């Protein structure tokens, strides 16, 4: 009898050893999510910027050239990535809405499945700007703690540090510097090599103006700042002996915050950088041109973690041999006070956009963006004086075309709308039908709509009335500091 127990104990402990060993072999995963960036890194060919850490990451890993997010604004895009499901399906499409609404069954944040597979889920990092803890999803959530989807809504287990003892771990670290904010000037001032405005190359739909060049250079300064943060994360992995078996994924959450970028379904709004490095699991120096959706990243993480991949995922693992995605379907609706409705399908070669609210112009005078788009102010004034060419004036039309079709291979800046050209009728028809098919597939599970009041509208009205000098500066392309003014406004209001 005694011997029997000893044998059982030995079997038990060897199972536990095996479990421990398997656990150790599960890779760690770090997801570096940079804010509001298009393919504006040196390794993607952007002029005037130096991104050595990301270049190295691309050289030693896999660089994707056709990755797209599913909405061109933070919170819907992040909601899709956090669940692996298109944000329309889970009714998380409207920016900053439904924060009090429970994610409907069977959907869960993907960290739920990672935790089930034994992962420690970590949010943020002590060494990056503002600690990189942004979650910003459109369903009820808490930063840390357990998740049962009924009473407990925690998405992560801990904050700010990844340690050897956390293995296997998943860490999601936000790189916020590239988001427009009052730190842009400071980052530039403190940069040892501020980007020279004369060395930048503006897309042809921008007016070539010194204010716009400087703004673009400042944006690239932020790119260099996050590049240093990426280098710091890699150095820490080396130092802690975890570099070999940690997958690092670098991605943008939506496109650059500028004309036809963030908030628009045009290529700069949804086309995002994606670089993956995993010394133990991926051969280096690959460039992949196949089409990837941001929700595929979620699925890929679950796949490499050996976690359950629920049926409901709309993303697919791009590390599986049979991975194939024909196109990405993206959508834009509410952003603050502007209720839009646009849908698009892109396959990297062709992009089709359907504007269901053509009466809302691209330049919708959205309050928040008034604070953060120097180029729009400058070009609006030039447009009023008839000083913009056709490509530049496109953004300032009084309404939008109902449909847009672009050939990205021949026309990467999307200057020629082929939807109006009868010789492209067959491709237009096929893209239109695909979009309708996705409209149907991604029909939301419910229609609950609890938007948050956009404070920026009140702040802008207050600035117009109480700070006319600052308002005038803003209209000349100066960033007058939204957060500081919003703070001042709320103090005034509470008096």
Which residues in this chain contact Ca ion in the complex, by CB under 5 A?
Answer: 35-36, 74, 253-254
Q: For 349-493, where are the E strands, in sequence order?
A: 350-355, 403-407
Name, in order, each residue with C-beta under 8 angstroms of 310's C-beta and a sequence gap of 6 or more: 106, 108, 113
In the complex, the smallest distance separating the C-beta of residue 34 from Ca ion, rounded to whole angstroms, is: 9
Q: How far apart are CA 254 and CA 219, in angstroms?
A: 15
> Nearest to residue 89, comparing CAs of 333, 345, 313?
313
Contact 331, 93 (CB under 8 A): yes
In the complex, the smallest distance separating the C-beta of residue 179 from Ca ion, rounded to whole angstroms, is: 6
In the complex, the smallest distance separating the C-beta of residue 293 from Ca ion, rounded to whole angstroms, is: 17
Contact 180, 481 (CB under 8 A): no
In the complex, the smallest distance separating the C-beta of residue 51 from Ca ion, rounded to whole angstroms, is: 19
Nearer to Ca ion by C-beta: 74 or 297?
Answer: 74
Q: What count of other Cβ atoms lies within 10 Å of the Cβ of residue 413?
A: 16
Contact 367, 309 (CB under 8 A): no
CB-nearest residue to Ca ion = 74
In the complex, the smallest distance separating the C-beta of residue 27 from Ca ion, rounded to whole angstroms, is: 27
Q: How far apart are CA 285 and CA 59, in angstroms?
A: 5
Nearer to Ca ion by C-beta: 123 or 309?
Answer: 123
In the complex, the smallest distance separating the C-beta of residue 427 from Ca ion, rounded to whole angstroms, is: 31
In the complex, the smallest distance separating the C-beta of residue 336 from Ca ion, rounded to whole angstroms, is: 14
CA-to-CA separations, 112 to 83, 150, 152, 160, 310, in angstroms, rounded: 9, 13, 12, 19, 11
Nearer to Ca ion by C-beta: 270 or 379?
Answer: 270
Nearer to Ca ion by C-beta: 168 or 181?
Answer: 181
Burial class (CB in 10 A: 0-12, 13-18, 19+), 226: buried
Name, in order, each residue with C-beta under 8 angstroms of 375's C-beta and a sequence gap of 6 or more: 206, 207, 209, 211, 212, 215, 258, 259, 477
Nearer to Ca ion by C-beta: 95 or 115?
Answer: 95
Nearer to Ca ion by C-beta: 221 or 253?
Answer: 253
In the complex, the smallest distance separating the C-beta of residue 41 from Ca ion, rounded to whole angstroms, is: 16
Q: How far apart are CA 381 and CA 367, in angstroms?
A: 17
Nearer to Ca ion by C-beta: 209 or 253?
Answer: 253
Supply 233's token pair: 């994360």
Nearer to Ca ion by C-beta: 76 or 168?
Answer: 76
| 63 φ/ψ angles, rounded to the nearest 5 degrees | -110, 125
> Nearest to residue 70, comparing CAs of 260, 327, 281, 285?
327
Nearer to Ca ion by C-beta: 35 or 229?
Answer: 35
């Amino acid at each position: 009898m005694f011997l029997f127990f000893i044998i059982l104990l030995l079997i038990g402990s060897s199972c536990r050893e095996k479990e421990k060993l398997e656990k150790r072999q599960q890779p760690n995963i770090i997801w570096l999510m940079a804010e509001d960036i298009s393919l504006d890194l040196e390794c993607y060919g952007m002029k005037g910027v130096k991104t050595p850490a990301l270049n190295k990451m691309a050289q030693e890993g896999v660089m994707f050239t056709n990755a797209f997010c599913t909405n061109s604004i933070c919170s819907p895009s992040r909601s899709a990535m956090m669940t692996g499901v298109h944000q329309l399906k889970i009714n998380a499409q409207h920016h900053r809405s439904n924060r009090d609404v429970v994610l409907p069954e069977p959907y869960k944040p993907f960290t739920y499945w990672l935790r089930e597979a034994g992962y420690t889920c970590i949010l943020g990092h002590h060494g990056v700007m503002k600690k990189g803890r942004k979650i910003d999803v459109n369903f009820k959530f808490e930063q840390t703690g357990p998740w049962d989807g009924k009473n407990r809504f925690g998405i992560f287990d801990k904050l700010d540090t990844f340690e050897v003892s956390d293995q296997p771990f998943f860490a999601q670290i936000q790189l916020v510097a590239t988001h427009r904010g009052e730190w842009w000037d400071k980052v530039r001032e403190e940069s040892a090599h501020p980007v020279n405005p004369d060395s930048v190359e503006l897309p042809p739909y921008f007016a070539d103006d010194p204010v716009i060049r400087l703004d673009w250079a400042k944006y690239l300064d932020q790119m260099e700042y996050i590049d240093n943060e990426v280098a710091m994360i890699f150095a820490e992995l080396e130092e802690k002996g975890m570099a070999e078996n940690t997958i690092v994924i670098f991605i943008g959450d939506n496109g650059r915050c500028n004309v036809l970028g963030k908030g628009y379904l045009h290529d700069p709004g949804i086309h995002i950088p994606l670089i993956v490095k995993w010394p133990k699991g991926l051969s280096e120096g690959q460039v992949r041109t196949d089409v990837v959706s941001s929700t595929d990243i979620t699925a890929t993480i679950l796949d490499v973690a050996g976690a359950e991949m629920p049926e409901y995922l709309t993303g697919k693992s791009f590390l599986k041999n049979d991975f194939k995605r024909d196109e990405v379907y993206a959508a834009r609706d509410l952003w603050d006070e502007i209720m839009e409705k646009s849908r698009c399908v892109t396959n990297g070669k062709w992009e089709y956009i359907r504007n269901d609210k053509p009466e809302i112009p691209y330049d919708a005078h959205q309050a928040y963006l008034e604070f953060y788009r120097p180029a729009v102010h400058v070009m609006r004034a030039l447009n009023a004086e008839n000083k913009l060419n056709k490509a530049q004036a496109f953004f300032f039309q009084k309404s939008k075309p109902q449909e847009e079709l672009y050939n990205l291979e021949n026309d990467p800046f999307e200057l020629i709308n082929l939807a109006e050209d009868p010789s492209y009728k067959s491709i237009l028809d096929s893209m239109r039908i695909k979009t309708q098919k996705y409209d149907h597939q991604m029909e939301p599970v419910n229609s609950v709509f609890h938007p948050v009041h956009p404070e920026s509208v009140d702040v802008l009205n207050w600035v117009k009335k109480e700070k006319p000098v600052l308002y005038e500066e803003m209209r000349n392309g100066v960033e007058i500091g939204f957060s500081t003014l919003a703070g001042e406004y709320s103090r005034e209001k509470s008096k």
